[in-house]
Chain A
Amino acid sequence: MKIGITCPYSWDVPGGVQQHVRDLAEALIDEGHEVSVISPADDDTPLPPYVTGAGRAVPVPYNGSVARLSFGFLSTNRVRRWIKDGGFDVLHVHEPEIPSLSLLACWVASGPIVATFHTAIPRSRILLVTYPVVRTGLEKINGRIAVSEAARTTLVEHIGGDAVVIPNGVATRRYRKADPLPGWPGPGGAIGFLGRLDEPRKGLPVLLKAFEVLGPRRPGLRLLVAGPAADPEEVLHKVPAELRDRVVLLGQVSEEDKARVLHSVDVFCSPNTGGESFGIVTAEAMAAGVPIVASDIEAFRQVLRGGEAGELFATGDAADLARAAGRLLDDPARRAGLSATALAAVADYDWSVVARGVLSVYETVVLGRTQVAVIASGSEFS
């Protein structure tokens, strides 16, 4: 199948949507499909062979912050040419409610169009999708995908119609092998954490409390903490002074380093207290084969197969976490068992599986329709 995918945000800026588009495109290519992606990108950015640059994105205020987007008639012309040259069987636009390439693609194209909605749209933006120019574009979409139940709910309630939920995949290959950071995990063992440090729902305070129990009893044990924070010093100050040099903060890490962090610890901890719909970080840790201790929230129970693929502890309970993590650290055989189960379980969430779900949406919308084409210039509003 010939597939054209549009990405609304700059390829050279890290972000969830860009990552999703890249993983999906590569998974589809692996399945033997012909994929072309168009994305805003700086001219000097090296792009993968399947990506067409649509020119530099322009920083503009949007929704109270500055976003880098592609708009205007030059971008429109580039998208039009890309569609014309592509001869796609299906056009897959991401985030078409954002004023960027995907919306432009909906506007100039005719034929089978699939759209993926990534975010739950804030209420203030809902009004805007009723503008005729936007509605005309959105009405051309034949199949809609939401990446989460929350995204689907806003779609159903505020734009109307329905969407199938196909969650993000996990690029398991990317996490399977990586070199540990130098000196890790170390002879005394190490516990890892990934996520925003100052977002209480990510649960770092629970892990730090547990470390107050574990640390004094296990003199060599260290914590490896990766993720952004407004004020990392403040986070460190919550740790008792005598344990502070055993808590290592890495700050925000790149995708590559994320895999290395996961391979640098004996036990990975997901202490989230809620607010997770899937737990992508936990799934990535599973893909790395690191034994996991996670809070007993619905999302984790599901991905960890009710505790078969990772140890669960009572949500928010630092003492229970300390007990569970301690048990794991003392039992290499149990760790190896959890790791093997997790590796098998996470295969269900691999991008190759997700891509097959997306493909079946493509196959449904192309039935009985012709190829994607460009509608005559100037008649966009008809």
Chain B
Amino acid sequence: MIPDIVIVIAAALFIGVYVSWRAGRIDRLHARVEMARAALDVTLLRRSSVALELATSGLLDPATSLLLASAVHGTRDSASTGRPRDLAESDLTRALRAAFSQPDFRASLSGKEGADELLAEVEAAAHQVFLARKFYNDVVAATREARRRPLARILRLSGRARAPEFFEMDDSLIAESSGAPIGK
């Protein structure tokens, strides 16, 4: 017969290992959230800078240029304008969509030096934002789910780390009206 004390010690050990594994998982999830957020930030910045390059390229008319530049400015300056980052980034999406969804937009630029490359770059950057945001929100969802488990709540396994927030914005690649896509 195994003495009771051994069973108790084994059970305590098992619970300890399990709890520590759960805590470690939540910790790793938080780290992944941070990495995903950094990646999302990089894609957003990249999109802003390519959009600004398009705005100042001289390929577009000054009104479209100014619209894009103003939207880029809004994403960089969201702290001082008081407009939240997600709304400012959505504004940039809509400004890009308004520019790209003009009828014959591409045809009007084809043949101009560097136009095709720049448009492709904007589209690629916009598509990367779409992907990075999807990955970020996936890991945020997994983290929030893990934090919500009863054991995690009772034992406060997430420590003082705050629950990560989803990043919601308009990054839809297809313009509703004309069907002209931004990104592929």
Chain A residues at the B interface, C-beta cutoff of 8 Å: 58, 60-64, 69-76, 99-101, 103-104, 106-107, 124-125, 127-128, 131-134, 136-137, 381
Contacts and interface: CB of A to CB of B under 8 A. Distances in A.
A133 B70 contact: no
A137 B56 CA distance: 14
Contact of B62 (A60, A62, A74, A137): A137
Contacts of A60: 67, 94-95, 98
B95 A133 contact: no
Contacts of B90: 61
B98 A99 contact: no
A99 B69 CA distance: 10
B70 A99 contact: yes
A351 B41 CA distance: 53
Main secondary structure of the interface of A (DSSP, over half): helix
Interface stretch (B75-83, B131-139, B144-152, B158-166): B75-83
Contacts of A107: 61-62
Given A64-B74, A128-B73, A73 B61 contact: yes
A107 B70 CA distance: 18
A205 to B, nearest CB: 27
A103 B60 CA distance: 13
Contacts of A128: 66, 69-70, 73
Q: Which of A70, A74, A131 has the most CB of B within 10 A?
A: A131
A71 B71 contact: no
Q: Which of A72, A106, A381 has the most CB of B within 10 A?
A: A72
Q: Which of B64, B90, B94, B103 has the most CB of A within 10 A?
A: B64
Contacts of A69: 63, 67
B20 interface: no
Contacts of B69: 128, 131
Contact of B108 (A71, A73, A99, A101): A73
Given A72-B61, A73-B61, A73-B105, 5 more contacts: A60-B95, A69-B63, A72-B64, A132-B58, A133-B56
Interface of B: 55-56, 58, 60-67, 69-71, 73-74, 77, 80-81, 83, 90-91, 94-95, 98-99, 102-105, 108
A101 B66 CA distance: 12
Nearest to A124: B81
Contacts of B91: 61, 64
Contact of A136 (B60, B62, B63): B62
B63 A100 contact: yes
Contacts of B62: 99, 103-104, 106-107, 133-134, 136-137
Q: Which of A70, A71, A74 has the most CB of B within 10 A?
A: A71
Q: Which of A64, A74, A107 has the most CB of B within 10 A?
A: A64
Contact of A103 (B66, B83, B95, B103): B66
Contacts of A74: 102-104
A103 B81 contact: no
A103 B69 CA distance: 15
28 contacts: A58-B98, A60-B67, A60-B98, A61-B71, A61-B74, A62-B70, A64-B83, A71-B61, A71-B63, A72-B105, A74-B102, A74-B104, A103-B62, A106-B62, A107-B62, A124-B73, A124-B77, A125-B70, A127-B73, A128-B66, A128-B70, A131-B55, A131-B66, A132-B58, A133-B56, A133-B60, A133-B66, A134-B65
A132 B55 CA distance: 10
Q: Which 4 A-B pairs have the closest CB atoms?
A: A71-B63, A61-B91, A99-B66, A99-B63
A106 B63 CA distance: 11
B113 to A, nearest CB: 12
Given A69-B67, A128-B66, A136-B62, A61 B95 contact: yes
A188 B71 CA distance: 55
B94 A61 contact: yes
A282 to B, nearest CB: 33
Contacts of B61: 71-73, 75-76, 104, 107
B58 A133 contact: yes
B142 to A, nearest CB: 32
B57 to A, nearest CB: 9
Contacts of A127: 73
Contacts of A70: 63
A62 B99 CA distance: 13
A71 B64 contact: yes
